[in-house]
Structure 1
Amino acid sequence: MDTQDVSVRPEHLALITAILELPSGQRLPCWDDPDLWFSTEPFEQLAAMAGCRACPVRPQCYAAADAAGERFGIWGGQPFPAHTTPQLAP
């Protein structure tokens, strides 16, 4: 495959760059339990969203997911699609 045929969205490039610029040894919250970010359980989705709060690449993650039209999971602290915000029962 010719590399000139490959296009990368600017949002994805920004995310990759931000990850590569992390201090050595720093891990992202989603790396330790990635299944949590794709759970269908509201409590687990809320836990994933909370895990994103201190993530240093949160804005880039959200922008990349939005640009790609992600249809499932928690990206940049937000559920995708955006209208599926999990709610806990009272």
Structure 2
Amino acid sequence: METTDHARPVLPPRRLALLHAIRSLPRDRCLPCWVDPELWFSTDPFDKLEAMKDCRVCPVRSECLAAAFEAGETSGIWGGQEFTAHTPERLAS
């Protein structure tokens, strides 16, 4: 990640969009992944399905998915999709 002269990280555009979308939510609105974050990184198939289901109603789902692709995430559920070490290879095919 790049930094500016003031040592502040320069976020990639998709991560910046995700951050902006999260900050624009009402203060009393909680994202599904904030309630039980471990669920999004579980190896249990039922937990993964539950996390994907919860993503369907998330107000920042598309921004989350785009940021995960841009960041090259290799594990977890992001924007309703499971990411593994092979996710970039799947996209290239």
Q: Deviations over 1:7-60 (max 9, x none)?
A: 210000000000000012100000000000000011100000001000000000
Structure 2 counterpart of 1:33, one-letter code: D
Q: Which residue of 2 aligns with 1:35?
A: 38
Tell me if 1:6 matches 2:9.
Answer: yes
Q: Which runs of 5+ in 1 are unaligned?
A: 84-90
Q: Tell me the C-alpha RMSD between the 2 structures.
A: 1.7
Number of residue pairs matched?
83
Distance in structure 1 (CA, Å) of the matches to 2:33 and 2:6: 29
Tell me if 1:18 matches 2:24.
Answer: no
Q: Which runs of 5+ in 2 are unaligned?
A: none
TM-score by length of 2: 0.82
Which one scores higher on RCO, CA 8 angstroms, separation ≥ 6?
Answer: 1
Q: Which residue of 37, 56, 67 corresponds with 1:64?
A: 67
Structure 2 counterpart of 1:35, one-letter code: E
SS at match of 1:23: coil
TM-score by length of 1: 0.85
Structure 1 vs Structure 2: percent identity of aligned residues? 54
* Structure 1 stretch displaced more, 4-13 or 47-56: 4-13
Query: Relative to 1, partners in 2 of residues 1:41 and 1:23: Cα closer, same or farther, differing over 3 Å?
Result: same
SS at match of 1:3: coil
